[in-house]
A and B are shown apart, each in its own frame.
Chain A
Amino acid sequence: SQQGEEDPQALSIQEGENATMNCSYKTSINNLQWYRQNSGRGLVHLILIRSNEREKHSGRLRVTLDTSKKSSSLLITASRAADTASYFCATDVGSMYSGGGADGLTFGKGTHLIIQP
């Protein structure tokens, strides 16, 4: 079953602009992770944010987490052509909530981001 839903499904912006992607999920989580994937290639880990954190930064990336709304956002500032990729959020429910069950990540379908030069 799908836990995370990214929004929008596709986003096209001009180079230099900021890009914001959102992720909503359904159940309580241990942490939420964002990944980037270029043209169906490898998945690159971007940021992990834990359920007790509200915001994290890494370079041009800013991630927020609102556990009351069960949502997260990924902001990429000053976008570059090289940022063109699919971006996925993935939730880790953790054995604490799954009664010893899955600690695998549950991914959404992703947001396809295109940066126009």
Chain B
Amino acid sequence: GAGVSQSPRYKVTKRGQDVALRCDPISGHVSLYWYRQALGQGPEFLTYFNYEAQQDKSGLPNDRFSAERPEGSISTLTIQRTEQRDSAMYRCASSLDMGYEQYFGPGTRLTVT
């Protein structure tokens, strides 16, 4: 079946612009997670949802970062007023429910110039 998909795969934006990254989880998966991965490092947890409810956003770096999942399926991670330090690979994962295997999408490579 179809895995987790993310769009766009690559995004180049100028500093100060807002960006929206999209994640489409595996059909039927209740839980959806956002991570950020720097080169040579493991992914770093940002936030997650169960259905449409955002359960934990303790990993979001600051208030420029927000996420939503209004209908409990597709999720959007928004970064406002982007800065160069926001450049990274942003990865989305979904799981059947909390505590199950998390399956990752291909990621969105964000470059802020």
In the complex, identify which listed stretch (A12-20, A59-67, A68-76, A102-110) lies at the interface while the others stay far away: A102-110
**Is A117 an interface residue when CB atoms closer than 8 A count as contact?**
no
Given A48-B100, A95-B98, A104-B48, verify A90-B42 contact (CB < 8 Å): yes
Chain A, residue nearest B42 (CB) = A107
What is the interface residue range for chain B against chain A?
20 to 34
Q: Across the interface, which residues of A come within 8 angstroms of B104, CB to CB? A: 35, 42-45
Are B98 and A102 neighbours in the complex by a CB distance under 8 Å?
A: no
**Is A31 an interface residue when CB atoms closer than 8 A count as contact?**
yes
Are A103 and B43 neighbours in the complex by a CB distance under 8 Å?
A: no
CA distance A44 to B55 in the complex (A): 25
Are A31 and B58 neighbours in the complex by a CB distance under 8 Å?
A: no
Given A43-B91, A43-B104, A45-B104, verify A104-B45 contact (CB < 8 Å): yes
Are B106 and A107 neighbours in the complex by a CB distance under 8 Å?
A: no
**0/1 string, A41-57, CB within 8 A of B gives 1:** 11111001000000000
**Is B102 an interface residue when CB atoms closer than 8 A count as contact?**
yes
Chain A interface (Cβ within 8 Å of chain B)? 4, 30-31, 33, 35, 40-45, 48, 88, 90, 92, 94-95, 101-110
Cross-chain pairs A/B with CB under 8 angstroms, 20 sampled? A30-B99, A33-B101, A33-B102, A35-B104, A42-B107, A43-B91, A43-B104, A45-B101, A48-B101, A88-B42, A90-B42, A92-B99, A94-B98, A95-B55, A104-B46, A105-B43, A107-B42, A107-B43, A109-B41, A109-B42
Given A101-B56, A104-B33, A110-B42, output 6 extra A-B contacts at Cβ < 8 Å. Answer: A42-B107, A48-B100, A90-B43, A107-B43, A108-B42, A110-B41
Chain B interface (Cβ within 8 Å of chain A)? 31, 33, 35, 39-48, 55-56, 58-59, 89, 91, 93, 98-107
